Amino acid sequence: MIEITMPRLSDTMEEGAIATWHKHPGDRVEVGDVLVEIETDKATMDYEAYEAGTLSQILVDEGATVTIGTPIALLDDGNDAAAPAPTAVHETTPLPTPVANAATPPEKAVSRPVPEVVASAPTFTRSAAPLVSEGDRRFASPLVRKLAREHALDLSQVHGSGPGGRIIRTDLNDLLAPGASAPTPGGAPRPVVYTGDVVDEKRASEPVQLTKARRVIARRLGESAREIPHYYVTAVADAEVLVQMRADLNEQLGAGEPKISINDLIIRASALALLEHPTVNASYLGDESPTMLIHHRVNIGIAVASKNGLVVPVIVDADQKTVAQLGAEAKQLALQAGTKGLTIDQMSGGTFTISNLGMYGVEEFTAIINPPEGAILAVGATKREPTVVGEVVVPRYRMRFTLSSDHRIIDGALAAEFLRTLTRLIENPWRIVA
In the complex with other proteins, the residue whose CB is nearer, 168 or 305, is: 168
Burial class (CB in 10 A: 0-12, 13-18, 19+), 310: middle
Give the residue, chosen from 152, 168, 241, 305, that forms a contact with other proteins under the rule CB under 8 A.
168
Question: What's the distance, CA 319 to chain centroid?
Answer: 27
The nearest distance, CB 83 to other proteins, in angstroms, is 29
Site for other proteins in 78-117 (CB under 8 A): 96, 99, 105-111, 113-114, 116
Alpha carbon distance 291, 289 (integer Å): 5
Tell me which residue of 80, 4, 3 sits closest to 48, measured CA to CA. Answer: 4
Give the residue, chosen from 124, 217, 305, 362, that forms a contact with other proteins under the rule CB under 8 A.
124
Give the residue, chosen from 137, 169, 220, 383, that forms a contact with other proteins under the rule CB under 8 A.
169
In angstroms, what CA-CA distances link 259 with 125, 231, 241, 305? 71, 34, 17, 21
The nearest distance, CB 124 to other proteins, in angstroms, is 8
Give the residue, chosen from 118, 121, 199, 389, that forms a contact with other proteins under the rule CB under 8 A.
118
How many C-beta neighbours within 10 Å does residue 268 have?
Answer: 26
Contacts with other proteins by CB under 8 A: the residue count is 31
Euclidean distance between the first and the last CA atom of the chain, given in angstroms as a whole number: 61
Grouping H, G, I as helix, E, B as strand and the rest as coil, residue 426 is helix
Burial class (CB in 10 A: 0-12, 13-18, 19+), 134: buried
Q: Is 52 in the site for other proteins (CB under 8 A)?
A: no
Alpha carbon distance 50, 388 (integer Å): 67
Q: Is 138 in the site for other proteins (CB under 8 A)?
A: no
Q: Is 177 in the site for other proteins (CB under 8 A)?
A: no
The nearest distance, CB 125 to other proteins, in angstroms, is 7
Alpha carbon distance 372, 176 (integer Å): 33
Given a contact cutoff of 8 angstroms between Cβ atoms, the answer to whether 277 and 294 are in contact is no
Q: Provide φ and ψ at 311, rounded to 5°.
A: -130, 155
Q: Is 151 in the site for other proteins (CB under 8 A)?
A: no
Q: What are the b/e assignments for 135-149, b being 16+ CB within 10 Å?
A: bebbbbeeebeebbe
Q: Identify which range of 119-127, 176-184, 317-325, 353-361 contacts other proteins by CB under 8 A.
A: 119-127
Give the residue, chosen from 22, 137, 145, 215, that forms a contact with other proteins under the rule CB under 8 A.
145
Alpha carbon distance 53, 2 (integer Å): 9
Given a contact cutoff of 8 angstroms between Cβ atoms, the answer to whether 208 and 149 are in contact is no
Given a contact cutoff of 8 angstroms between Cβ atoms, the answer to whether 415 and 394 are in contact is no
The single residue of 22, 230, 295, 407 carrying the catalytic annotation is 407
**Annotation marks residue 90 as catalytic:** no
Q: Is 126 in the site for other proteins (CB under 8 A)?
A: yes
The nearest distance, CB 278 to other proteins, in angstroms, is 52
DSSP 62: T
Site for other proteins in 310-329 (CB under 8 A): none
Q: Identify which range of 53-61, 168-176, 209-217, 365-373 contacts other proteins by CB under 8 A.
A: 168-176
Strands 352-356 and 375-389: parallel
In the complex with other proteins, the residue whose CB is nearer, 198 or 362, is: 198
In angstroms, what CA-CA distances link 153 with 174, 195, 315, 338? 11, 10, 36, 31
Q: Identify which range of 47-55, 62-70, 141-149, 250-258 contacts other proteins by CB under 8 A.
A: 141-149
Give the residue, chosen from 41, 134, 171, 364, that forms a contact with other proteins under the rule CB under 8 A.
171
In the complex with other proteins, the residue whose CB is nearer, 110 or 413, is: 110
Give the residue, chosen from 70, 161, 306, 325, that forms a contact with other proteins under the rule CB under 8 A.
161
The nearest distance, CB 191 to other proteins, in angstroms, is 24
Alpha carbon distance 10, 26 (integer Å): 30
Give the residue, chosen from 144, 233, 302, 432, that forms a contact with other proteins under the rule CB under 8 A.
144
Q: Which residues are catalytic?
A: 407
Positions touching other proteins (CB under 8 A) are 96, 99, 105-111, 113-114, 116, 118, 122, 124-126, 141-146, 161-163, 166, 168-171
